[in-house]
Each structure stands twice: as C-alpha cells, then as structure tokens.
Chain A
Amino acid sequence: MNIDNGYSAKGSSVIGKPLIRQDAHDKAIGRAKYVDDRCDQGALCVRILHSTVANGIVKSINTEEAEKIPGVVRVFTCFDCEKNYFPTPGHPWSVEKSHQDIADRLLLTDHPLYYGDDIAAVVAEDEVAAAQGIRALKDQVEYEELPFVLDVFDAIKEDAPLLHEKYPGNILAHTTINQGNYDEAIKEEGLIKVEGWYDVPTVQHCHIENFECFAYGEGDDRYVCVSSTQIPHIVRRVIGQALNMDWGKFRVIKPYVGGGFGNKQDALYEPLCVWLSMQLGGRCVKIDVPREETFVNNRVRHGERFHLISWLRKDGTLAARKYEAWADQGAYSSHGHAIAAKALNACPQLYPCDNFQGDAWTVYTNKPVAGAMRGYGMPQGSYAFEAHADDCARELGMDPLAFKRLNLMPVGFVHEFSHNELYSDTFNQCFDKGDEIIGYTKKYNEYKKPQTGDVRRGIGVATYWYNTAVYPIALETSSCRMVMNQDGSIQIQLGETEIGQGADTVAAQMAADTIGLTFDKCHTVSCQDTDLTPFGTGVYASRGTYTLGFSVRKTATLLKQKILDYAFELTRMQPYLLDIVDNNIIRKTDGRILMGIDELATTALYSLDHSVHLTAETTAHIKSNAYSFGACFAEVEVDIPMCRVRVLNIANVHDCGNVINPALAEAQVHGGMSMGIGYALSEKLLFDQKTGRPLNNNLLDYKLSSFMDHPRLIGDFVENYEPTSAYGTKGLGEPPVCPVAPAIRAAVAQATGCFINEIPLSPDLLFKKFVEAGLIEKEGGEANV
C-alpha cells in the first residue's frame, strides 16, 4: 500500500522517487572535503600514549627523553590536566540530575582501566616526531599494576577487581521487567521448557574514515573544533563540560564524514584536542587516530551474554519466559546501560507473553569502551531472541516461521510506556514478501530432507524489534531553518547530520514536497557549524529521517505561508486560494499559473515598496516514536570439512513506512546486511587473556567482510504509512543489521544440524562444533608427536 501522494502536496514529484543524492557528484569526483582535507598544513600532530596495563596507577612519566626529540613541541601527561570528569555519550543532555550521563572520563588518566587507556599526549611538528616521542615515552612510565578482569561473569564475582568505586560488583546498572507471575505460570501442566545461553562478541564499527579532529583558537578565548562527528551540538556541550567552560566558547564544525555507525555518536578526542590547542596558545592541533587505535580507543559494540528460558504449550504458544542478560561495558560508561536495557525492553514486546521475568545487567570490564553501534543493543538482542525462537520451534517440531508468525507482536499491540502501536500486519507482510523473493518455504522443505556430502545447504529467517528515535527515554527535538534565495531556491539547515546515509537528500525532498518546489531548488547545507546551524542533536537511533521530518514540515509550511502571503500582495488573490506547484504560484480555483516563484522571490527581496526576507525557522519537540520492523532471509552452503559458510542468497524486507527515496533506502539496507553478515560469520575483537591487550585491532586481522565474501544483496520494502510521522516514515538506519546473524545461524543449523549459540560462526568455532557433533573426525593425536 503506497499512499504517499494522498498525504503530500498536490503534484509532488519528489517523495518516493529515487533521486540522486546531493553529495554524489562531489564524492564521485573527489572534491568532497572531510576533516583531514580541511586541516591546515601547518597543524601540529598529536599522538597519544596508551597504557600497557589493563588496570593500574600511573606513578610517574618521565618526559625528558621525549621532549628532547627534534620536532616534539610539548609532552602532556595525565598529571598536567585537571581531574574534571565528564560524560561522553551522544545523548541529549538531561536537566534532571538522575537522568544525566555518567561523568567518568578524563582528558588523560592516571588510572588506566583498560589496555590502551589514554595517559599522555605528544604534540609535535609532524607525525614522525610525534611517533618518536611516543616510543621514547613508552618505557618511561612507572605503573602500579592492579589486577584486571576481562569477562563479565568474572567481573561480577565478589573478589573481582573493582573498576569504579561508585559501582559495586562492577555493575553499572541493573534493570528488571516483571509481567504477570513467572513462578506461578511455569507450574501449568504439560509445558515444554526450552533454555539457552547465547553469546555475541565485541565488534567495531569500522567506518573507513578513522576518527579525526583538529582544533584552533578563534578571537580572544573561543576555540573551533572541526570533527568527524555525528553530533556536533552535543560535542560542543561535552567540550564545555570537559574543560569546565561556557559551552558557547566552542564552535564545532562537521564537514563530510566518512561513516559513523554510532562510533561518532560519542565525544571522542575533541575535548582533548581543544585542550591541547588551548595549552599551546590556540595553535592548530590535529588528532588523527590511526586505524589500530580506532579499534581500541574509540568505541566498540557491547558483547553480551543472554540466558533465555521459554515455557511452551504444545500448541506453540508462550506460557512464561525468563530473560537474563549481561552486557560488557568495557572500562567506562559511555552509553552505558541504554544498550542492554533496549534489548530487555524489546523482548516482551516482540514476543508478548503474559508472564515475563527479565533482568539485564551492564557490567564494567577492563576492556575498550562499548558505546553506540548501529542497532544499539538490538543486533545482540535479535540474535538471542531469534536463535531462541528457532530453538523453541525445533523443540516443538514446528516450522520456525510458523512459530514466529504465531507468537510475534500482533496487529494493534500498544506499548504503554512509549505509546508505540503496531498499526499494520507488518511481520506477516515482510515474511510473505521475503518468502516470495527467496523461495523460503520451498527451500526450507527441500533442505529439511537428510543431506549427505561435504557441502550442505540450509535456509533461515529472522526478524527483530526496532523503534525509531529516543522518545520517551530522552528528548527528541529538531530545528530547521530555511532561507529563500532571490531566485526562489532555498537553503535548508538542520542539526541532523549527513554521514553517508543520505539525510541531506531526503530533507531536500521533503522540503520540496511541502513547499511545492522542484528538488533542484532545494539545497541542504551539508556542513554543520554550531555557530550557524540551528540546534539539533545529530543523527543516531535511526531518528534522522523521522525527526527531521517534523521540523522540515513545520518550517516548510511556515515558509510556504510567508510566500503565499507575499503572493497575495503581488496578485491580490486570497492566500488560501493559492498554492505552489513546481516552482509556480497557482490559483487553486482554476489552476492558472499566476507567477513563478523566482519572480516572487526576487521582488520580495528587492522591492522598494515592501522588502521581505523569506526565511523560516522552527523547532519541533517530538513526543512520539514508531515501531520499525522487517525480516531477513538467508540461504547458505556449508563446506563441512572446511568449516566454511558461504552465503548463497540473502534478502531483507523492511517496513520503514513511507519510503522517501527508494534508492537511498535500499542502499541503507545493503549496508546493514553487510554488517550483519560480518557479525554472523567473521567479526570479533580479540584480547590477550594474560594482559588484556587487543590482538586483532587492524583491518587484516579483524575480519570485516571483503567484496568476495558477499553474495548479491537484496533489499526490499513493504510500505505502511506511519501516522505519527511527518512524512509517513520511520527508522531504517539501524534495523537492517539486526536480523541477519540469527537468519544465518538458522540456515547453518538447517544445513548441519548444529544449532550454535555463539557468533561469529567462524571456522575455528565451526570446527569445534562439528567435532562435537561428529561431523568431523578429529585428526592428530599421537601421530603428531
């Protein structure tokens, strides 16, 4: 059902069209400027000294040798900065103290809490001198080493080393959900108990542009920071908090960004960079994070362990469920418990059950800091929920898809806290469409038959829970400014940032639609500058298209009214009888074109009778959210002796409401699927158990999927217009990654009979599991001695 035109301005030719993205041309010719491309050539280079202990106290750092190195300008250590703790996550700030993010970071710390923590910085004339400075410092640090802990279950033990005094047991937070009466409900006669432990790994975002920022002084006491960030306005606030100065002293500029995926939804090194510039009289200072450090010193996705129990009736319905999960936070709080809590809250919504008992803990460990990453807890949760649903179906002897259709959130379901409602039969529509695309039912039945030979096939399907934006947990606000130029074209400014997903383009499409302009007349300013851009919190939570839609519609409507009011002065026709269609003022009564918008705009600005600047700016405070669901179908071939999985076919079907730009939406789906394939099969950040040192923090050893690891990716949609949304849309940025890993897990299970409760399904893990299952006979033994 595509009903967009019914809700759009008459004659709209922009919504629902695969228009070329605004930045495509500049990016295709290499003209698009990213942070490093904008940096002054004379900028000083910074390298950061990272701790070589996973927990300890820095007793001293002797900087003498490093400072002697030619080209080294200054060495700053943890002893040079004030102990002013600040929070880093890209959440809107809360005026309520109890909802404020945890302030636990320092610019440089004398108590490193993970191997690689930031303890000193070398500022030098060039990168070589900076690196030499770091090498000269490495052996000059005196540590008092403390015991450390890498595993969540070790961390919650009584005798575990404590990372943060305020958080006993290393538990950052623990939340619960209790519905009905679990203990009573499980006593029902004839129930089948299905229990499973599901583990997901720590992974990293791997945007191809590493994080980089540079800072310099402006005027007497202001500082500019140009940063590869998703959240410029939030970063400005965090710099102010970190340096204990007025937030308005800082100006954050975001040029083109080479991918973020949530990593750049934290303040990373911006506060340190500004502080260093400040120490050096406002000289331009650049922090260009090497790839190896991006893996360790930015953010990672939370690894998580799930323990799920379902009590099933013979008819396949759910009598009671128990949920326990432990999320690995790493050393500092960053986005903290929001991730584990999201998955916990999702579970009883996705598969409603009268009796549900759930607990989620977020646990500190001496590892890199987990923060936001595409899916924000839901790739983890979806893997566990869907793997468990498949386990339930198997126990019941049911077709897994039938089990899911039976138990998933029904149409009309309302979630009280968020007011979210499932308005349409989304799950079944997505399943049906995906089944049709990939031939699921036929293949499922074919591969169910006993298979022999080295290479076997299977197919799986999985869904997920997702919503859009952060209401009602946190503030949702979006501001938009539109300025009409003398020729009738407009500039649009928004705090929602373009990071590759296409936000600028959809904003222009929406504005064009509402005002009645053609797409080419609407230009979204891609660069955010906190001195110039209206306040906005940035992009995250798949909120961009949804939230900016509110302020774009509001602003465009206001601008249009101003235009029509001015048209009334010029045409003497009543504003309510006028409209704008394809850049022309028309009279609705007869459709006659009265004048072009270009003529009107020129007159408005230069008129000696009545000069008007046609601009509009509004803020939308958004008090709604929307469910955004879909499914992934994956077909695999497993070479059993080789312990290798090949994805043969894969298709994602999503309902993100009204699709504004199908080409961009499809591309967004491909990217999520790709990240999901990596999550399922190959990606995992590894640590040396003896030291806590990261082992594979580079693009060779961390197995991000290559071009040869993917089949063709199929992304498709069902479009149910979202009634809470300004343009019928809902979240799509993160959802595509969520259902991929469980779909692949199910396919591998069908091919091999091995239901593996851990990802990635990498060769070493498959080897272990295939040996256990007797699919592989273990070699070696005496022969090898």
Chain B
Amino acid sequence: MSERQYKTVHFTLNGKPVEKNVDVRASLTDMLRNDFRMTSVKKGCEVGECGACTVIINGEAFDSCIYLAVWAEGKDITTLEGLMGPNGELADIQQAFIDETAIQCGFCSPGFILSAWEILNTGKEYTDEELRKLLSGHLCRCTGYENIFRAVKKTMLRRLGKEEEAEKVNEQGIVDTDERKPFASLDPTVQA
C-alpha cells in the first residue's frame, strides 16, 4: 500500500475539545461516523444534494459529506448527538419533531433537526416561504415536508412567546388569495 497521509485535527465536538489523527482523504462525514461514532450523521448521496449528513459548523449548517475532515481544525462542530442536554433532556425542536409526527423512516431527521435548530437560534420570525427556503437543503421522501414544517413553525412561534399562533399552525392549510403570482424563483431575498 502506498504511503498514507495523516493529520491531527483539533476541534470542538458537541461542546468538548477533541483531537484525532485522520487520513486526509476522509470527509467530515467519514471522521464523525467512523472515528467518533456519531451515527446520526447519515449518508444519503455523498454529493451535497440530500442534506442527510448535515452538521453545524461554527453556527452554520453544512453538508459534512463534501467537507474535508482536516478542515475541522479549530472549528466548533455540533451533531444531533449534541442537542440533548446532560440529563437526557431533549431540545424543543427534537420534541416538536416527535410530537408533530415529523419523523417517519427517520433517515433525514437528524439533518433536518440540525438545520431547524440553526434557523430557530437566530431568534427571528420567518414567513412560511422563508422557512421553506431555509429548510430546502434537505430531501425527504416520507413526510412531504408537511409535518416538518409544522414542527419548525410551531417551535419558532413558541420561542417567540406566540403560543396561540403556534396552536393554529396545523389548521392553516388552505391558501385563499386572489393574487396570482408569477414564477420568480420564489422569494430570492430570503436569508438566515
């Protein structure tokens, strides 16, 4: 076998400083799954299309499959395993995914929950279109995104103290407007 190239990487994983000597060929997905057994980081396409491998790096969601492990140096990385509190308490968004039946096969769930967590941590109130755009880096084949949308929107409203509006999220099904909307790459100005 030809000589392998390794590098020691230091970073913070779910709040704890860690270091690892990694094969430079490894993706961040490989390192997190194989070296740290963070099996919530899922492989769905390995080219940054499906979002199943999403992790949070320095507060922003990334596809870990197209991120070299060595780039983790000095970063603060959160996987789904890191959301649970020290006594097993769930994050509000995890509980909302459970309560709203936003989980079916569960394979896209870790990535989705992490993106949702990042979005909610901005503390902003987003429109429905904005939420859809912010969550659009994940593919799901089970849920049609509906219950995921409900879980995220409800949690957003609850964090903003809008409990009554949150209770109405499941009812707001029908779009009832006469305004006809030309196709325009839906709401391009949205940002996190």
Direct contact of A and B (CB under 8 A): yes
- Residues of A at the B interface (CB closer than 8 Å) are 18, 20-21, 23-34, 36-37, 41, 70-71, 128, 205-210, 256-259, 261, 288, 290-291, 437-439, 453-457, 499-502, 637, 639, 642, 644, 646, 648-649, 651, 663-664, 666-668, 670-675, 677, 698-700, 704-708, 710-714
Q: Does B108 touch A at the CB level, under 8 Å?
A: yes
B5-13, B39-47, B69-77, B154-162: which lies at the A interface? B39-47
Please, how many angstroms separate the alpha-carbon atoms of A257 and B101 in the complex? 17
* Most chain A Cβ neighbours within 10 Å, of B49, B144, B172, B181: B144
Cβ of B99 within 8 Å of any chain A Cβ, yes or no, is yes
Contact of A207 among B90, B105, B173 (CB under 8 A): B105
CB distance from A703 to the nearest CB of B (A): 11
**A667 contacts B141, C-beta separation under 8 Å:** no
Q: Are B107 and A639 neighbours in the complex by a CB distance under 8 Å?
A: no
Chain A residues, CB < 8 A from B147: 667, 670
**B residues in contact with A639, CB < 8 Å:** 182-183
Contact A698 B45 (CB under 8 A): yes
A670 to B47, CA, bound (A): 27
| Smallest beta-carbon distance A765→chain B, Å | 16
Interface hits, B21-60 → A, CB 8 Å: 25, 33-34, 38-40, 42-47, 49-50, 52
Q: Which residues of B contact A257 (CB under 8 A)?
A: 105
* CA gap between A707 and B83 in the complex, in Å: 24
Taking a contact as CB atoms closer than 8 A, the residue among B47, B109, B141, B149 that contacts A675 in the complex is B141
Q: Which of B79, B104, B181 is most buried by chain A, counting CB atoms within 10 A of its CB?
A: B104
Q: A699's contact among B95, B101, B135, B139, by CB below 8 Å, is which?
A: B139
Q: Count of chain B residues with Cβ under 8 Å from any Cβ of A?
A: 63
| Interface members, chain B 88-113 (any A CB < 8 Å) | 90, 94-95, 97-99, 101, 103-110, 113
Q: List 29 A-B contacts (CB under 8 A).
A: A21-B101, A26-B106, A27-B106, A28-B109, A29-B40, A30-B81, A30-B110, A33-B39, A70-B2, A128-B25, A208-B140, A209-B42, A258-B42, A291-B44, A291-B45, A291-B47, A454-B182, A455-B180, A499-B105, A648-B175, A667-B147, A670-B146, A670-B147, A674-B143, A674-B144, A674-B145, A675-B141, A707-B133, A710-B146
A671 contacts B104, CB within 8 Å?
A: yes
Tell me how many residue pairs across A and B have CB atoms closer than 8 Å.
201
**A205 contacts across to B, CB distance below 8 A:** 141
Decide yes or no: A698 and B49 within 8 Å by CB, A25-B98, A30-B81, A674-B143 being known contacts: yes
Candidates A32, A673, A707; contact of B106 at CB < 8 Å: A32
The 7 closest A-B pairs by CB, nearest first: A30-B40, A500-B105, A258-B107, A674-B144, A27-B106, A30-B80, A670-B144
A156, chain B: closest CB distance, angstroms: 33
Question: Does B121 sit at the interface, judged by CB under 8 A?
Answer: no
Query: In the bound complex, do residue B44 and residue A208 qualify as a contact, i.e. CB atoms below 8 Å apart?
Result: yes
How close is B24's CB to chain A, nearest CB, in angstroms?
12
Contact between B142 and A671, CB atoms less than 8 A apart: yes
Contacts of B38 in A (CB 8 A): 30
| B124 is an interface residue with CB less than 8 A from chain A | no
Query: B139 and A706: CB pair below 8 A?
Result: yes
**Cβ-defined contact, A291 with B136, below 8 A:** no
Cβ–Cβ < 8 Å partners of A700 in chain B: 47, 49
Chain A residue at minimum C-beta to C-beta distance from B34:
A41
Q: Are A28 and B141 in contact (CB under 8 A)?
A: no
- Closest chain A CB from B32 CB (angstroms): 11
Residue of B at shortest CB range from A645?
B183
Check A28 against B94 for contact (C-beta < 8 Å). Answer: yes
Q: Which of B40, B101, B108, B149 has the most CB of A within 10 A?
A: B101
Is there an interface contact between B79 and A30, defined as CB atoms closer than 8 Å? yes
Q: Is the CB of A642 within 8 A of B133?
A: no
For A673, the chain B residues whose CB sits under 8 A away are 144
Known: A259-B141, A457-B180, A670-B147. A208 touches B104 (CB 8 A): no
The answer to whether B103 and A208 have CB atoms under 8 Å apart is no
Select which of A26, A34, A711 is within 8 A of B107 by beta carbon. A34
Contact A707 B143 (CB under 8 A): no
| A646 contacts across to B, CB distance below 8 A | 181, 183
Establish whether residues B136 and A708, one from each chain, have CB atoms under 8 Å apart when the complex forms: yes
Distance in Å: Cβ of A260 to nearest Cβ of chain B: 8
Query: What's the least CB distance linking B174 to chain A, in Å?
Result: 5
